[in-house]
A and B are shown apart, each in its own frame.
Chain A
Amino acid sequence: MGIISEKDREQLIKILKPLSNNVRIITFTQEFECEHCNITRNMLEEISELSDQISLEVHDFVKDEDLAKGYGLDKIPATILLGDRDYGIRLFGVPAGYEFNTLIEDIILISRRDSGLSKEVLSELSKIDQPVHIQVMISPT
């Protein structure tokens, strides 16, 4: 049995059916996979099978060190979500528990190429003129 149950799989297929643009998922693991890297990779493989618009690339954190650095990664398991550009979204750790919904919601938003933020908020955000590093600490349960 996979990580995603048959019941959840059916619901996810429905949710992901309207995806209008492609979403690239990149995950970094390593040759000797830790338990969490293994779960993350398996989970993402299952997700990528749910829609033609989702593709998955698996990289090695050690062997593909330069690529990992290029994405600003310093730990694994790491999941990067890309659309027609890099929106800077990085998920570290297993997107398990309720955070699974964050992962799915991110995929949907990236496919829409729309953050869902209002014009007013986007206008305020456009005033930021220097790099800002935001880290959201979460508990998967």
Chain B
Amino acid sequence: MEFPGIILDIPSISQSRKPDNNSIYDMLIVGGGPSAMSAAIYGARKMINLALITLDFGGQVKETSVIENYLGFQSINAQELVAKFEEHVKSFDIPINLGVSIVEIKKKDDIFTVYMEDGTNFLGHTIIFATGERHRQLNVPGEKELLGKGVTYCATCDAPLFKGKKVIVVGGGNSAFTTAFDLLKLDAEIILVNYASGWQADEIFLKKVKKSEKVQFLDYYEVLRIEGNNRVEAAITRNRKNGEEKRITADGIFLEIGLLPNSEPVKNLVELTKQGEVIVDCFCRTSIPGFFAAGDVTTVPHKQIIISAGEGAKAALSAYDHLIKSYPI
């Protein structure tokens, strides 16, 4: 065997120290996507005593394949971009609590407490809440049972598994059409099922997908249940105009029906929209002083990596302003 040399991959080496449960940090950043990581870098450069609390790094970026609209990169693999973000964060001596979910955030006497799933907690004078979004579920029988057995929420991760197969894509927006487009490249046969009437995807996606003869469109249909014995075999759909039920056989089902903000831990703390987004102003301030939010979990429109990164930076600078006004040196 020829010696392959060594490949030093700095982000994979978990060198960060853990935050102290007894300290009160000036800034606690909750989340691990672009907004949280950007906030951490801005906070660290302002020499703020901060800690980062996240289940993992990358957020939804990890579910993308190639990114072609992040400034400075004409085209970059998503994992590579996340690795670059992570490396940047870890170049600062920031304590990081990784791998544990947060349960709730409360405020008492100007101190925020972040309660963790493992029973521990962290204290902070300010919070930057940047927990992002997650995939919305259909909540139909068979969905949970067959998850990973043909039911998937991630085309980037799983589309190659369905090369040349018959696949149902649920949804009518850009995500659904991007998934359909990815699957078409893999020579899959696709049935697009849209609950609403009319397709919401951008014209450019509609044109690309509609010209294919391998796509069948079921508009104004709902999925009632997913069937299969240890693997997806079919979905039972209903025509919402006439109530007619239809069994569609398929090898897989991609659910692309939107995203839900991960705001449950603060639902009793800050004002949210009906959809659960944290309401922020242009300084990333929320209804609670000292509690800032950034990225996809907030009301800021256009969920894009570059926007999230910018919002994270803004939240950190706003929190810094708040800290120097509230706790003068």
List chain A positions with a Cβ less than 8 A from chain B. 3-4, 8, 11-12, 15, 18, 35-36, 39, 43, 94, 96-98, 100-101, 104-105, 108-109, 114, 116, 118-120, 140-141
Q: Does B4 contact A (CB under 8 A)?
A: yes
**Judging by beta carbons under 8 Å apart, are A96 and B6 in contact?**
yes
Give the complex CA separation of A104 and B7 in angstroms.
11
**Judging by beta carbons under 8 Å apart, are B100 and A97 in contact?**
no
Give residues of chain B (100-156) contacting chain A, Cβ–Cβ below 8 Å. Answer: 100, 118-120
User: By CB atoms of chain A within 10 A, which of B1, B6, B120 has the most?
Assistant: B6
Residues in A with CB closer than 8 Å to B100 are 118
Consensus secondary structure, chain A interface: helix
27 contacts between A and B (CB under 8 A): A4-B6, A8-B8, A12-B8, A15-B10, A15-B13, A18-B93, A35-B3, A36-B1, A94-B3, A97-B5, A97-B6, A98-B7, A98-B9, A100-B6, A100-B7, A100-B8, A101-B7, A101-B8, A101-B12, A104-B13, A105-B14, A109-B14, A116-B98, A118-B99, A118-B118, A119-B119, A140-B4
Give residues of chain B (1-58) contacting chain A, Cβ–Cβ below 8 Å. Answer: 1, 3-10, 12-15, 17-18
Give the complex CA separation of A8 and B3 in angstroms.
17
Give the complex CA separation of A105 and B14 in angstroms.
7
B313 to chain A, nearest CB (A): 25
- Total number of B residues with any Cβ neighbor in A under 8 Å: 22
Residues in A with CB closer than 8 Å to B4 are 96-97, 140-141
Residues in A with CB closer than 8 Å to B93 are 18
**Judging by beta carbons under 8 Å apart, are B17 and A18 in contact?**
yes
**Judging by beta carbons under 8 Å apart, are A96 and B5 in contact?**
yes
Residues in A with CB closer than 8 Å to B14 are 105, 108-109, 116
Give the complex CA separation of A20 and B120 in angstroms.
24
Residues in A with CB closer than 8 Å to B17 are 18
B193 to chain A, nearest CB (A): 39
**Judging by beta carbons under 8 Å apart, are B6 and A3 in contact?**
yes
**Judging by beta carbons under 8 Å apart, are B8 and A11 in contact?**
yes
A82 to chain B, nearest CB (A): 19
B2 to chain A, nearest CB (A): 10
Give the complex CA separation of A98 and B10 in angstroms.
11
Known interface pairs A96-B4, A118-B100. Does A101 touch B9 (Cβ–Cβ under 8 Å)?
Answer: yes
Give the complex CA separation of A18 and B99 in angstroms.
22
CB closest residue in chain A, given B6 = A100
Partner of B3, one of A4, A96, A120: A96
**Judging by beta carbons under 8 Å apart, are B7 and A105 in contact?**
no
Residues in B with CB closer than 8 Å to A108 are 13-15
Give the complex CA separation of A12 and B17 in angstroms.
17
- Please list the 3 inter-chain residue pairs (A to B) with the smallest Cβ-Cβ separation, ordered nearest first: A100-B6, A97-B4, A8-B8
Residues in B with CB closer than 8 Å to A18 are 15, 17, 93
Residues in B with CB closer than 8 Å to A101 are 7-9, 12-13
Residues in A with CB closer than 8 Å to B5 are 3, 96-97
CB closest residue in chain A, given B116 = A118
Given contacts A15-B13, A101-B8, 15 further A-B contacts (CB under 8 A): A3-B5, A4-B6, A8-B8, A11-B8, A35-B3, A96-B5, A96-B6, A97-B5, A98-B12, A105-B14, A108-B15, A109-B14, A114-B18, A118-B99, A141-B4
Residues in B with CB closer than 8 Å to A141 are 4
Residues in B with CB closer than 8 Å to A43 are 6
Residues in A with CB closer than 8 Å to B7 are 97-98, 100-101
Residues in B with CB closer than 8 Å to A8 are 6, 8
Give the complex CA separation of A109 and B10 in angstroms.
15
B35 to chain A, nearest CB (A): 25
Residues in A with CB closer than 8 Å to B13 are 15, 101, 104-105, 108
Give the complex CA separation of A56 and B61 in angstroms.
41
CB closest residue in chain B, given A117 = B99
B42 to chain A, nearest CB (A): 22
CB closest residue in chain A, given B98 = A116
A91 to chain B, nearest CB (A): 14
Residues in B with CB closer than 8 Å to A11 are 8, 10
Give the complex CA separation of A114 and B9 in angstroms.
21
Give the complex CA separation of A11 and B91 in angstroms.
10
B115 to chain A, nearest CB (A): 15
